[in-house]
Amino acid sequence: MPLMLLRNVTINSTILYTSAFLLTTILHELGHGITGALLGSDPILHHNFVEHGSVDHLSPHRQIAIALAGPAVSLLQGFVAGLVFLKSQKRSLFELFVLWWSVLGFANFLGYLMIGPIFSVGDIGKAYSIAGTPLWVQISLAVVGAALLLLVAYKMSSPFLQFSSRAEWIEDGTARKRFSLRTLILPWIVGSAIITVLYLPIIAVVSIIYPVMSGMVFIFPWQNAVNVRDIQPASDSAIERISTVAVVLLAIVAGVFRLILAPGIPL
């Protein structure tokens, strides 16, 4: 029975991770799309990219605004979802979704900040290229982004353990690491495989490697789980049962992602 319940924990967290990731992508691209529509780029919103009809006639400032709109939305998402999570006293599946949504928002923004000096086709890299940002500034901001991402990773260890509904799952370092594997690492691995399929066809190599690479930071809170202390079991045991609501949510989000957004919507 305990193994079956832990399996359900993994399934629930995987479903919520995948849904949160897809919604993060949609909002990110919507940020680009809406900004482009307001500034005159004639955008078409797709599932994981925005096709702009024309940007050559736009001023550099407008092009930069369009490029940075997506990361800015992701950063705002991270803060808002994080505040919702911190203010909630519950540790239900809803809070687990909100936690994933916050982490993925921060990871999206900080990830783009880190790769800015390397990938000029990325959002922040594109803004650097248009603005002619000095390389030393780009590298400095990348270092800041890496440091902040490590901070986020460090702060992730305790929150995910708080969803344990059984004391024996977090009673010692080994148990906490095992539970963290179920709530963090396996959802990232399995969810990334699902997301990669949903991301097809390949528009840019970075869009395919992003789902997997963005989760590398989860290895730290998983390993650090052994050092976390004073975690109390959650009163909500819903994580032990596969959530029908979570399954329906993923089906709806994935359906919108592939059937509606992938073909493209003019904005």
pLDDT at 1: 52
Determine contact, residues 50/43, Cβ cutoff 8 Å: yes
Q: Which residues contact 116 (CB under 8 A, 6 or more apart)?
A: 122, 124, 125, 127, 128, 138, 141, 142, 145
> For residues 65-96, b (16+ Cβ closer than 10 Å) or e, as one string?
bbbbbbbbbbbebbeebbeebeeeeebbbbbb
> Which neighbouring-strand residues pair with 266?
44
| Number of separate domains in the chain | 1
Q: What does the pLDDT read at residue 98?
A: 97
pTM, two decimal places: 0.94
Is 256 domain-assigned? no
Q: Please, which residues have CB within 8 angstroms of residue 223's CB and are 6 or more apart in sequence?
A: 177
Confidence of residue 188 (pLDDT cuts 50, 70, 90): very high
* More confident site: 211 or 124: 124
Q: Do the beta carbons of residue 240 and residue 8 sit within 8 Å?
A: yes
The amino acid present at 176, given as its one-letter code, is: R
pLDDT for position 204: 67
Residue type, position 107, single letter? A
- Angle 248-212-51 (CA atoms, 0-180°, nearest 5)? 75
Q: Name the residue among 83, 66, 78, 134 with its Cα closest to residue 109.
A: 78
Residue 71 within a domain: yes
Whether the predicted pLDDT of 114 surpasses 90? yes
Is residue 247 within a helix (H) or strand (E), and if so which, with residue range? helix 244-255
Pairing verdict, β 50-52 and 43-45: antiparallel
Residue 194 counted as domain residue: yes
Calculate the dihedral angle through the C-alpha atoms of 127, 75, 203, 205, rounding to the nearest 10 degrees: 90
Q: Has residue 80 been placed in a domain?
A: yes
Q: Which pLDDT value is given to residue 210?
A: 77
Mean of the pLDDT values across residues 62-79? Answer: 96
Task: Return d(Cα 155, Cα 75) in angstroms, integer.
Answer: 17
What band does 30 get if pLDDT is binned at 50, 70 and 90?
very high
* Helical (H) or strand (E) element with 49: none
Instruction: Choose the weakest-confidence range: 89-103, 118-132, 199-213.
Output: 199-213
Q: Could you list the residue range(s) of the whole structural domain that residue 215 is in?
A: 2-251
Region 68-86 average pLDDT? 97
Question: CA gyration radius for the chain?
Answer: 19
Please give the Cα distance from 25 to 170 (Å, whole number).
33
pLDDT at 121: 83
Q: Give the integer Cα–Cα distance in Å for 64 and 177.
A: 43
> Is 68 in contact with 127 (CB distance < 8 Å)?
yes
Q: Is residue 204 part of a domain?
A: yes
pLDDT band, very low/low/confident/very high, at 181 (cuts 50, 70, 90): very high
- Which pLDDT score, from 0 to 100, does residue 207 have? 67
pLDDT at 116: 93
Q: What is the mean pLDDT of the chain?
A: 92
Please report the pLDDT score of residue 5 as a whole number. 84
Task: Indicate the angle between helix axes 2-39 and 60-87, nearest 10 degrees.
Answer: 150
pLDDT tops 80 at residue 90: yes
What's the confidence (pLDDT) of residue 2?
67
> What percent of the chain clears pLDDT 90, i.e. is strictly above it?
79
* pLDDT of 149 over the 80 cut: yes
Percent of the chain past pLDDT 70, that is, above it, reads 97
Query: What value, to the nearest 5°, has the Cα angle with vertex 162 and ends 104 and 17?
Result: 30
Average pLDDT over residues 192-205: 84
